[in-house]
Structures are given as structure tokens and as C-alpha cells.
Copies of this chain bind each other. A is one copy, B any other.
């Protein structure tokens, strides 16, 4: 293996006989993007062109490990994604399955500023799994969402997030919704002695994100929800400096890729600063397998130099009935997110939410 390279593993749907040629053309595509024969400079050939580190058969196709020169990524998020999967994203036979970074490279990125421990401190939950729900549906007014948030906070939910579809629409502007919901939750916390946290959805370009971060800060909001693939990964990285509160990543628009979910939603979102990462749990409305979900949780929490662990948040059509099984599968450093499954209780909403909290807390020691 070439020392100091970023090792990117690709699965290529092509016959093994082509594997050497295909691997070498991928190495050129993901670095200099031109025929190597036309490059005279030996330094570029040795230091810049990606290397083919290994080729091995895999289930009738093959896997190639490329060694990508860290210098080509400029230590910047959009350029890192470009070198990993820019042009080859346009080649449907290529999938990006894993990336291993050389020690020290991770320092170029923020990583989670708070991580699992920081979220526990903010939510006042020292151990065991956490609970999360979502304010829905979009189309509701700030006052309606604030009332709903109050109900969830009284029930003792740890984190109440906006639905990812609630952005900055005219029917519920960010600047009106966020102070109203935060106030309702703070009032409920005062009544119960609880520590429920609100995580509003931030959206738009860098300017919108900055403005929304300012509103969130002024309202004493303690967590933020952002979909990195919708706002753009570099914007996700940049806004964290302004926010200075834990950030929960939402997977919207992220599954469009042929990038292994554990790599994108687990390892890469964590590298780019996600303190918590939402992903569609197996057996719900999405088709991720149990193995994929476990791999995401593992990538979010695995020891990695000085990079803090991110909190896995399985979601997507979950119900109170599945709490025990989910905790058994994911363990205590997990936040369970149930949205529609609580709202379906309609006028029994507060009871269903309390049942959710009790069931999760009941698992503790």
C-alpha cells in the first residue's frame, strides 16, 4: 500500500478480465482525468495520479482500491467528494464502498464538535438510549407546531426536531417558528424540570443558513437539523462554526448515490461534523437491510483517532412497539426517532409519547 494515501474502495460491475484496464482508467479519472501517456512530468505521475493499490474479485464483479493523494483534495469537503466520486458518479457500474483515511488527515475537517457525550450533556441523559420525535405536518402554523412541541416536551421526549420538510416556507417562516417552538419547549421544561431540546431544520444557501443560525442562536436553540446533501456538504461544514451547537444530519437526497450508506451517512457525515446522524431503519418505509443499518451505526461510533463519536438515529416508519428490539440491536448509545408513529395516536398523543419515553427509559439499568 502507498503510504499516506487515501484508500478508496470501489465495486465495479464488469468482468474480471477487464479489471486491470478498468482500475487504471478509474485511477486516471479520479485524479488527472487525462491519458497518462500525455503527462511528461514525473512528479505528477508519482505524486498526483491515483494509484491502483489492489484488485480483487467480489461476487462475480471486482473491487478496486485506489490510493488517492491527499494533496489533490485540498483538505476541503467538496474537493474531497470530487476526488472520491466526482466523475465516476456518472459511471453507473461504479460504486464507492469504503474509504480509509491516513492518520492525521481527519484533522483537516471539524468532525463532531459535541458528539454523543455533548448531546447527552445538552439533553441531561447520562446513559441509555435517547428519544426523538418530529414536528409535523408541514403546512401547520408556528403556533400549531409550538402546541405540538409543548405536548411532546411535557411527555419527556429528549429531542424534538422539525420534520425535514419544514424549511422556511411562507406558511411557516423560520424566523417566526423557531422562537415560538423554542419558547413552548422552554416553558414545558420549567414545568416538568425536564431538559427537552429543539432541533429546527436549517435550509438554503450559505446566506440563508447564516441568517437562520443567527435566529436559532438568538432563540437559545440547542441543536440543529441539516440535510448535508440538500444544502451541499461544504455549506454543512461551514455553518457549524456559526452554530456552535450539536448538529443532526438528515439523509434527504443522500440515498440518490451509489455510495455505501455506512460510508456516507456514517463515516463521511461524521468527518464533516455531524454530532448525530438520522438513517432509515430496516423494516420501515425504506429498504435498507439490517446489516446496512448496523454498519451505519458502527461507522458513526467506531473509535477513530480523536474524532468524536456521532449518535446513530434510526428512523423512518418506526413505532413504539419496536423500541425493545431497536435498543437490543443498536445498544444504549442510540437515539430512537418516532414521528408519524406517535402522531397517529391523535387525541391520545401525549399518552403515546409518554409510553415511548417510559419504554426507552425502562431499559436503563
Contacts and interface: CB of A to CB of B under 8 A. Distances in A.
A193 interface: no
A187 interface: no
Given A87-B252, A227-B82, A139 B343 contact: no
Chain A residues touching B, range: 35 or more
A35 B231 contact: no
Interface string A41-60: 10110011100000000000
B235 A234 contact: yes
Contact of A35 (B76, B83, B340): B340
A97 interface: no
A165 interface: yes
A290 interface: no
A136 to B, nearest CB: 5
A221 to B, nearest CB: 19
A227 B76 contact: no
Interface string A15-45: 0000000000100010111110111110110
Q: Interface SS of chain A: helix, strand, loop or mixed?
A: loop
Interface stretch (A120-128, A168-176, A357-365): A168-176
Nearest to A255: B90
A165 B255 contact: no
B234 A234 contact: no
Given A33-B163, A76-B203, A255 B92 contact: yes
Contacts of A346: 38, 40
Contacts of A73: 169
Contacts of A139: 32, 41, 43-44, 47-48, 72
A257 B90 CA distance: 9
A77 interface: yes
Contacts of A79: 167-169, 203-204, 230
Nearest to A48: B139
A138 B205 contact: no
A87 B343 contact: no
Interface string A105-144: 0000000000000000000000000000000111110000
A68 B263 CA distance: 32
Contact of A344 (B38, B235, B252): B38
Stoichiometry (number of copies)? 2
A39 B346 CA distance: 8
Contacts of A47: 139
A74 B170 contact: yes
Contacts of A170: 71, 74
A207 interface: yes
A256 interface: yes
Contacts of A251: 90
A258 interface: yes
A46 to B, nearest CB: 10
A170 B70 CA distance: 11
A287 B92 contact: yes
Nearest to A280: B90
B164 A33 contact: yes
Contacts of A253: 81-82, 85-86, 89
Given A34-B136, A76-B168, A231-B235, 8 more contacts: A72-B169, A74-B169, A77-B205, A89-B253, A90-B254, A206-B207, A208-B234, A230-B233
